[in-house]
Structure 1
Amino acid sequence: MAGPLLRSRLSTRRLAVWISLALVCLAAGASLMLMQGIDRQLGDVTQTYAVRNAARELMNALSQAEANQRGYLLTRDENFLRPYREAVSSIDRRVEELLAMTQEDPGQAAKVAGITGDISTKMAEMARTIELVANARAAEAQTLTETGMGARVMTEVTQTLEAFIGEENAKLEARNAAIDRSRIGLVAALIAALAAAAILAYALLTRTQRQVTDLTVRQSGLVSQNEALEAEVAERTRAIEEARAFAEHERQRVEAILQDTNHRIGNSLATVSSLLALQMLRTPSQEVRNALEAARLRVHAIASAHRRLRLGDDLESASADEFLGTVIEDIRTTQVDADRMSITSSIEPIAVSARDATTIGILVGELVTNALKHAFPGDRTGAISVSLRREDGIAVLEVADNGVGLGPEVADGPGLGSVIIKQLSGQFGGVPDYQPRAEGGLRVRIALPELGAHRPPADPSPMEP
């Protein structure tokens, strides 16, 4: 709806602008035509006055020549001859000028041409009388003058020139009247064009002012809406920040609870391990002591795994390298003859779930405990290495020692340690592989394809006996 309305407004405005330009052009054209009309009028007036002056000068020259000719006839005074000759000498030139001025007007040119013969006759008559007087034939000159022919010719020439001048005056008045009418019309058109342009300009200005006012009102509305939206966004942002802070606080609280819970479990299991140690000291049977020692070591490994477990920000996972090394160190320090063996580890930062972290800690503890228990009988010294790494995307746990070694039958024997290792490995889809080392000792290699992968919670039922 807004698009067609906007296009309609733009089209109307564009049309108004073009109309204004056309009116301005019309006013400019009318002004040009008015100036041209004035120029033509001035040219016609100048031409008419020139023609009238030429006709009057011709009449004055003829009159002057006739007056001087009569003065000479009456007085025989030579002083009348000089102005007479000057007037006669200018008559022919004035006739030619008048013919040239009227060549574009056939009617007036015909009148001028019609009186040239009479002028010539009059001039011949005056020249003849002066010649007769100069030759002392005044009576003949008087007789020629009294015939009245020269007077009639002069009268006809004078009347013709008067009519000629009157006609020029009439033509000038007609031209002036026509030009005045044209000028009035052009002035009216000019005024109308300018008035229309002014009206359109006023309309455009009013429309523009109204649109500017509308835009200002809309902008004010948008500013108000923007301020309201900013206030709402600020409020929601504050609420989100409060919710985020509360969630962070809750996460930290839950993390602290989980850490405390794991620590308490570890402490409880450590207490159980201590009780087993006390019980082992009070038992006279070596076989019972050995069983209690094995149980104590396993409980201690589980306790260490719980105490050393540190969960990540999601409270659901941990990094293997952050807790397995400390678990292995705890196992080493609990040995009675810990100074006889060195335990090294190389653990990659593999992300595992919290449940898997405890399980893998127990598995590593069981493997290291078995190596400490069986690989170095008597006072034998040695070294144990533990590694956890990825090979082709699969986690591989490897525990190796340089002790006396074990036969392949141990993996399938009835020992509790072998059963525990097998079942714990099976939780990650792995099977322990016991490999004798060429340089002596044993290497236990377990591929754990499900370690670090998302899998459903394991069955919490106790392990098979």
Structure 2
Amino acid sequence: MRRHFGQRLIVLLSLALVMLAAGAALVMVQGIDRQIDDVNRTYEVRNQARELTSALSEAESSQRGYLLTRDPSYLEPYHGAAASIDARLLSLSALTNGDPRQAERVKAIASEVVTKAAEMARAVALVQQDRGFEARTLIQTGLGERLMDSIQLALERFIGEENQKLLDRNRDIDQSRKLLVGALIAALAGAVLLAYTLLSRTQREVSALAQSKERLVTENEVLEARVRERTQALEEARGHAERERQRVEALLQDANHRIGNSLATVSSLLGLQLLRGKSDEVRAALESARSRVHAIASAHRRLRLGEDFETASADEFLGAVLEDIATTAGSDTKNVQLQGEFDSIVVGARDATTLGILVGELVTNAVKHAFPAGRSGTISVTLKRDQSGVPMLRVIDDGVGIAGGQLPADGGLGSVIIKQLAAQFGGDPFYEARPGGGLSVSVSLPGITGTSPPQGLSPGA
């Protein structure tokens, strides 16, 4: 206990001496800063006083030149110097605000300067009014010359007093600096002596600590070996989990691929049956069924799931569905251009399939009804959020439009399917004839949630 108390006392004394030295250094720095500020202020005061004298001399010289020659070229330097006089007086007043004595001197000088400026301005005005005799009479009184001599003398005294004050302040600061340097050296010497005493005690304790450290190193090596064993076990478990995840992902991809291929086979069988159909009504029904089965197959084959295996990104998924429609529709779309623009909206896997079927049904209806007899045009498909954040699906074509501008109340099977699919998302299709021809179908999808695309999408088959 006594040893620890002695060590703490030595540390406290050393800290006190170091703080004393730091305080002395801080006071020295502050003194130097004040000295620098005084030098700068004094230099600025003297500079402003000398520039005031120069401006007065230039104004008087230009004024006398104008009085003698009446040459207007003297007026420009005269007016410039007169304006500079006011600025110099304001600067001097601001610089001497903290010194009442010098402020009074500046005030007296300013009064004489104002009188001198008024005398010069009066003489110039008289000449400009063709009253040169009165101007010469005003100059011959000698008032302006006496004012100029008085102002110059006052400014020289003002500058001299500023110089003397600066010398006095520097002498006082130098004396204080010597005392502070002495205190700083003494404090540092005491701190060094105490630090040496503490060091000698500390060295004796270091040897004891070294032995304890050797024991700790041995125990640490044992702990590190155990940590390595646990880390290896965790890595093996993580690798097993990753392999299981990849296996599940492959199974999901294979399942989607098989479903899509099975539906594609059904679509092909319907196409074969379509070729054997005799009735136009039966052929039309088979063609509609084949198109819808193909749309479902495309939705399954093009589905790309995220790392959670439960969500997909609408922009990648729907873009792929449009490509499939354009590729497989054949002659129906050879003159029709399909365009798609989709936001990166996250949807569930089940909703993604339904959304793909809905888009396929809308696009197929547009191709079938809007562009009869090989008519060319464009179908634009967009999925974006409206102002309230609700996803809005729009399919717009520039085809023949709807007869009479209104959709029939008893729409066909396609209209019924579109309405039922939209209802699964809590929306309802809205048909609107476009002014320039064609049809716009808007479907609000409030049942879709998500604001960003899923991370780490895994490609489907």
For normalisation by structure 1, the TM-score amounts to 0.51
Match of 1:289 in 2: 283
2:372 partner SS: coil
Quickly say closer, same or farther: Cα 1:404–1:212, change in 2 above 3 A.
same
2:334 partner SS: helix
Quickly say closer, same or farther: Cα 1:218–1:426, change in 2 above 3 A.
farther
Quickly say closer, same or farther: Cα 1:297–1:205, change in 2 above 3 A.
closer
> Any idea what the Cα deviations from partners look like across 1:327-381, whole Å, max 9, x if unmatched?
1121122224231211111122222221111111111001001111111222322
Alignment of 1:296-307 (within 5 A): 296-307=290-301
Partner Cα separation in structure 2 for residue 224 and residue 423 of structure 1: 74
Quickly say closer, same or farther: Cα 1:9–1:322, change in 2 above 3 A.
farther
Match of 1:438 in 2: 435
Partner Cα separation in structure 2 for residue 403 and residue 274 of structure 1: 29
2:319 partner SS: helix
1:255 partner SS: helix
* Contact 2:345–2:450 under 8 Å retained in 1: no
Quickly say closer, same or farther: Cα 1:430–1:209, change in 2 above 3 A.
same
Match of 2:375 in 1: 380
| Shift in Å, 1:389 | 1.6
Q: Which has the larger radius of gyration?
A: 1
Match of 2:314 in 1: 320
> Any idea what the Cα deviations from partners look like across 1:56-105, whole Å, max 9, x if unmatched?
xxxxxxxxxxxxxxxxxxxxxxxxxxxxxxxxxxxxxxxxxxxxxxxxxx
Alignment of 1:391-410 (within 5 A): 391-392=386-387, 393-406=389-402, 410=407
Quickly say closer, same or farther: Cα 1:205–1:296, change in 2 above 3 A.
closer
Moved more, 210-219 or 241-250: 210-219
| Structure 2: tracts of 5 or more residues without a match | 12-197, 452-461
Higher relative contact order (CA 8 A, sep 6+): 2
> Any idea what the Cα deviations from partners look like across 1:377-405, whole Å, max 9, x if unmatched?
22322221111122232211110111121
Quickly say closer, same or farther: Cα 1:14–1:256, change in 2 above 3 A.
closer
Aligned residue pairs total 263
Partner Cα separation in structure 2 for residue 205 and residue 294 of structure 1: 96
Cα RMSD of the aligned pairs, angstroms, is 3.0
Quickly say closer, same or farther: Cα 1:452–1:14, change in 2 above 3 A.
closer
Quickly say closer, same or farther: Cα 1:217–1:297, change in 2 above 3 A.
same
| Shift in Å, 1:229 | 3.4
| Structure 1: tracts of 5 or more residues without a match | 1-6, 18-203, 455-465
Match of 1:188 in 2: none
Partner Cα separation in structure 2 for residue 326 and residue 206 of structure 1: 80
Quickly say closer, same or farther: Cα 1:14–1:302, change in 2 above 3 A.
closer
For normalisation by structure 2, the TM-score amounts to 0.52
Partner Cα separation in structure 2 for residue 205 and residue 352 of structure 1: 70
* Contact 1:388–1:396 under 8 Å retained in 2: yes
Match of 1:331 in 2: 325
Out of 342, 347, 351, the position equivalent to 1:347 is 342
1:268 partner SS: helix
| Shift in Å, 1:14 | 6.1
2:437 partner SS: coil
Q: Percent identity?
A: 61
| Shift in Å, 1:9 | 5.7
Moved runs in structure 1, 4+ residues, more than 4 A? 12-17, 204-214
> Any idea what the Cα deviations from partners look like across 1:36-57, whole Å, max 9, x if unmatched?
xxxxxxxxxxxxxxxxxxxxxx
Match of 2:414 in 1: 417
| Shift in Å, 1:234 | 2.8
| Shift in Å, 1:266 | 0.4
